[in-house]
Amino acid sequence: MGSGNYQRIYGFCEGEISAIHECLANGIALDRTKTAAYAERMGVAGQVIELASFTAGGLPWRLDPKYWPKTSLVAINSWNPHSGENIPAYNAAYLVNAVTENYESDVVEIVMDGAKVQKYLANGTADGAPVFSRNPIWCMLDYMMVRAQEPYLASEIDWSAAYTSATLCDTLGYQLNLVLSEQKNDDAILTLMRNSCRAFFTFPSGKVAINIEHVWSGAAAHSFDDLSAGKTQGNVEPGSIKPYKRSKDNVYNRVIVKYRDEEERDILAILDGDLAAAATTITYKARQGTLAATGTIYLGGQAITYTGSTHNVDLTGELTGCSARANDFEYGYPLFQGTQTFPERTAIWYDEPHQRKIHQVNQLDIDGSCIGTYRQAFAIAAFHGKKSIYGNQNVRFRGFRPSLVCTVGDQILLTFAKRGWVDWKFRIIGMSEGNNNKIDVDCELYEDSFYPELMGTASAPNTTTLPSPFEAPAHVTGVTLTEGGLLGTDGTYVPGLTLTYDLPTDQRFWSYALVQVKVNAGAYLTFGEDRSRGIGFSIDAVNAGYTKGDTVVVKVISINDRNIPADADTAPTASTAIAASIVTLDTPTNLVLEGGG
């Protein structure tokens, strides 16, 4: 095999596949004795497949060869672990395909602790030759630009942010250590990478930037001692984090987190826009203990400083549209129970009876293979506990008033009236008629920087408004109307008008064009539907009754796939005058009908 950086797959094939994929440095040779012994311990002591010397394309992330870079399939040696006998080389894709086709139960584990990557400078130029690295930022960029099914372009990466984050990873000692399973998609792999170093994605100016939370930002004040002392941070149960160290059988760490899903009071979604003005003061009291005369409270994710022994907070300029009643506090954090006043068209109330989950304790199992300290473990636990992610990625609102003005594709803000919550952006993905002529609305989380599985719009800023299929389509452009007559040998001339146009830039919901025609100063009449998509629509001037000198005006109205038309008043038009005389055959005379018996 020689020295250098390379990757290996060891596949144990006997009724199932249990493949361990390691990315090794410094030319570490394969210890066949240990590999064979491992195969026997796994109970699959059959043929061992070794795939070595990947010269380009690097790590094959999935066992299925269709995802492997073709330039990586260089050599494969197959040998029997019992006899150590070498078998002639095979085509890697054929061999693995044959195995996966014969055995339906494939169990694949990929252990990745680095990759041979290309590093970059802050200006996006390559920094030397590719090297083996455990830096999670360089590994993520290598995957995104080289190995992903839909690779990113260099122009889509914020190189300055990537360079800064990669340098920070080296400073803090963040290293990649992932456990992947077979057939993970691009987004899932990037999610695991991101979590290994608490990285997150942002999209400034339409480019992907990978950032690192410096020293687990927001958790610096937390430590394991806080939990052991019985203190409550957020809504994570005291003493509920149970990190498991790696066992002798290479079972990776798991972190078991229990957190309280406290009473979710009036869950309120607010359409983007200004809130109606209301009271600007709020009165609160302490549930337990005594509050200081001055301090900070959090409302709707906003930090507000209060002063005065009366505990009245002036919200002027801080939180518009809030009229609140007395609020309960616990350990200095408010449980905001206030009401907010909005115009009817913007108020969405979640009134399902089962929305109330009072002090329900949930358990979350986190992969802790990359968690090095209790502080990091607690940061993850507190994050998952406060956000209560599971069950909240998709939300159904019931009982909308029919007068509610919102459609599929609209973005809304979802606010949870409990401490520690901030507004999260959701997108309406479906609407249906419920009981009593009310409308039910299904929403999905829309937050690119936190959920990379929603990265379908990665090339655009995360403030981009998604299109609604219920919106009127855009107008066509470049409308032309030209005359092209047909001249017969008998002296006839039949003009034909041809309509052409360009489709709008956004064609996702565009279906066809409705063609209206008027002659001279007459009114527009519907002539027909054009489904040629602007290539050419014919108008028969003779059958339409046009004559030489008539001015024919055509209006093109776009129609979407839900038969919603564009604004006819502003639809584009084109006109032309019939230039030549229309000559048709004269009416025949002196007709004779003969018959025979």
Predicted pLDDT at 436: 67
* Segment 54-72 mean pLDDT: 32
- Integer angstrom CA distances of residue 159 from 49, 165, 166, 207: 39, 10, 10, 9
Residue of 454, 452, 463 lying closest to 211 (CA atoms): 452
DSSP string, 228-253: HTT---TTBPTT--EE----TT-PPP
Residues 16 and 93 occupy one common structural domain: yes
* Segment 263-271 mean pLDDT: 34
- Integer angstrom CA distances of residue 477 from 354, 474, 492, 505: 51, 9, 35, 9
Residues 74 and 136 occupy one common structural domain: no
For 303, residues 6+ apart whose C-beta sits below 8 A from its C-beta are 296, 297
Residue of 214, 141, 150, 216 lying closest to 176 (CA atoms): 141
Q: Which residues of 484-512 are buried (b: 16+ CB within 10 A; e: fewer)?
A: ebeeeeeeeebbebebbbebeeeeebbbb
* Segment 338-345 mean pLDDT: 31
**Which residue is associated with the tokens 């009165």?**
283
- Integer angstrom CA distances of residue 190 from 176, 231, 247, 464: 12, 34, 26, 22
Triad 521, 525, 530: Cα angle to 5°: 125
**pLDDT tens, position by position, 273-289:** 332 333 333 344 333 33
Instruction: Return the top range by mean pLDDT from 83-92, 302-311, 454-463, 528-537.
Output: 528-537
Long-range contact set of residues 564-571: C-beta below 8 Å, sequence gap at least 24: 564/470, 564/471, 564/472, 564/473, 565/472, 565/473, 565/514, 566/472, 566/473, 566/474, 566/475, 567/472, 568/516, 570/475, 571/475
The residue that leads in pLDDT, 216 or 360, is 360
Predicted pLDDT at 248: 37
Predicted pLDDT at 553: 93
| Sign of CA pseudo-dihedral 227, 230, 231, 234 | positive
Q: Which of 166-175, 332-341, 355-364 has the lowest mean pLDDT?
A: 332-341
**pLDDT tens, position by position, 119-136:** 999 998 999 887 777 788
Predicted pLDDT at 459: 30
Residues 87 and 123 occupy one common structural domain: no
The length of the chain is 597
* Segment 410-418 mean pLDDT: 54
Side-chain-side CA neighbours of 169 within 13 Å: the count stands at 27
**pLDDT tens, position by position, 7-38:** 233 332 222 222 222 222 222 233 334 344 43
Alpha-helical regions (H) of 426-504: none
In a domain? residue 100: yes
In a domain? residue 527: yes
Q: At residue 54, does pLDDT exceed 70?
A: no
Residues 303 and 324 occupy one common structural domain: yes
For residue 380, what pLDDT band results from cuts at 50, 70 and 90?
low
- List phi, psi (to 5°) of 531: -110, 20
The CATH number of the domain where 485 resides is what? Answer: 2.60.40.10
Side-chain-side CA neighbours of 433 within 13 Å: the count stands at 4
Q: Which helix (H) or strand (E) holds 366?
A: strand 360-367
Predicted pLDDT at 47: 34
Q: To 10 degrees, the CA torsion angle through 301, 303, 307, 311?
A: 10
Predicted pLDDT at 82: 33
pTM of the entire structure?
0.28
* Segment 424-436 mean pLDDT: 71
Predicted pLDDT at 171: 79
Residue of 1, 2, 3, 5 lying closest to 130 (CA atoms): 5
Residue of 126, 136, 121 lying closest to 211 (CA atoms): 136
Picking from 52, 86, 112, the residue at the C-terminal end of a domain is 112
The total number of structural domains that make up the chain: 4
Predicted pLDDT at 313: 42
Residue-range definition of the domain harbouring residue 330: 276-341
Q: At residue 408, does pLDDT exceed 70?
A: yes
Residues 123 and 173 occupy one common structural domain: yes
Q: In whole angstroms, give the CA distance from residue 558 to residue 505.
A: 13
Picking from 45, 80, 112, the residue at the C-terminal end of a domain is 112
Structure tokens belonging to residue 163: 């360079």
Instruction: Return the top range by mean pLDDT from 90-94, 361-365, 548-552, 572-576.
Output: 572-576
The residue that leads in pLDDT, 89 or 584, is 584
In a domain? residue 199: yes
Q: What is the mean pLDDT of the chain?
A: 54
* Segment 262-281 mean pLDDT: 34
In a domain? residue 585: no
Q: At residue 510, does pLDDT exceed 70?
A: yes
Q: In whole angstroms, give the CA distance from residue 48 to residue 250.
A: 20
Work out the burial of residue 106: count CB atoms within 10 Å of its CB; fewer than 13 is exposed, 13-18 middle, 19 or more buried.
middle
For residue 488, what pLDDT band results from cuts at 50, 70 and 90?
low
Predicted pLDDT at 556: 95
- Provide Rg for the chain, Cα atoms: 34
In a domain? residue 334: yes
**pLDDT tens, position by position, 179-205:** 444 445 666 667 666 665 666 666 666
Structure tokens belonging to residue 194: 């991101």
* Segment 46-73 mean pLDDT: 33
Q: At residue 213, does pLDDT exceed 90?
A: no
For 198, residues 6+ apart whose C-beta sits below 8 A from its C-beta are 212, 213, 216, 376, 379
Q: At residue 515, does pLDDT exceed 90?
A: yes
Residues 61 and 131 occupy one common structural domain: no
Percent of the chain with pLDDT over 70: 28
Q: At residue 558, does pLDDT exceed 90?
A: yes
Residues 121 and 206 occupy one common structural domain: yes
Q: In whole angstroms, give the CA distance from residue 30 to residue 1.
A: 9
Q: At residue 565, does pLDDT exceed 70?
A: yes
Structure tokens belonging to residue 371: 């968690």
E strands in 147-301: 178-181, 199-202, 209-212, 242-243, 254-261, 268-271, 281-283, 295-299
* Segment 558-578 mean pLDDT: 87
Predicted pLDDT at 547: 76
Predicted pLDDT at 9: 33
Q: In whole angstroms, give the CA distance from residue 441 to residue 397.
A: 5
Residue 261 region by backbone torsions, left for phi larger than 0, else alpha for psi between -120 and 50, else beta: beta
| Sign of CA pseudo-dihedral 47, 48, 53, 55 | positive
DSSP string, 108-162: EEEEES-EEE--B-TTS-B-SS-EEE--HHHHHHHIIIIISSSPPPGGGB-HHHH
Q: At residue 521, does pLDDT exceed 60?
A: yes
In a domain? residue 268: no
The residue that leads in pLDDT, 581 or 467, is 581
In a domain? residue 436: no
For 290, residues 6+ apart whose C-beta sits below 8 A from its C-beta are none
**Which residue is associated with the tokens 């449980």?**
335
Picking from 212, 232, 250, the residue at the C-terminal end of a domain is 212
State how far Cα 224 lies from the chain centre: 34
For residue 333, what pLDDT band results from cuts at 50, 70 and 90?
very low
Structure tokens belonging to residue 101: 């086709």
Structure tokens belonging to residue 156: 């889509």
Residues 135 and 62 occupy one common structural domain: no
In a domain? residue 419: no
Residues 15 and 104 occupy one common structural domain: yes
Residues 62 and 25 occupy one common structural domain: yes
Residues 13 and 90 occupy one common structural domain: yes
The residue that leads in pLDDT, 548 or 487, is 548
Q: At residue 428, does pLDDT exceed 60?
A: yes
Residues 158 and 108 occupy one common structural domain: no
Cβ contact 397:415 at 8 Å: no
Q: In whole angstroms, give the CA distance from residue 25 to residue 3.
A: 9
Predicted pLDDT at 161: 84
* Segment 513-519 mean pLDDT: 92
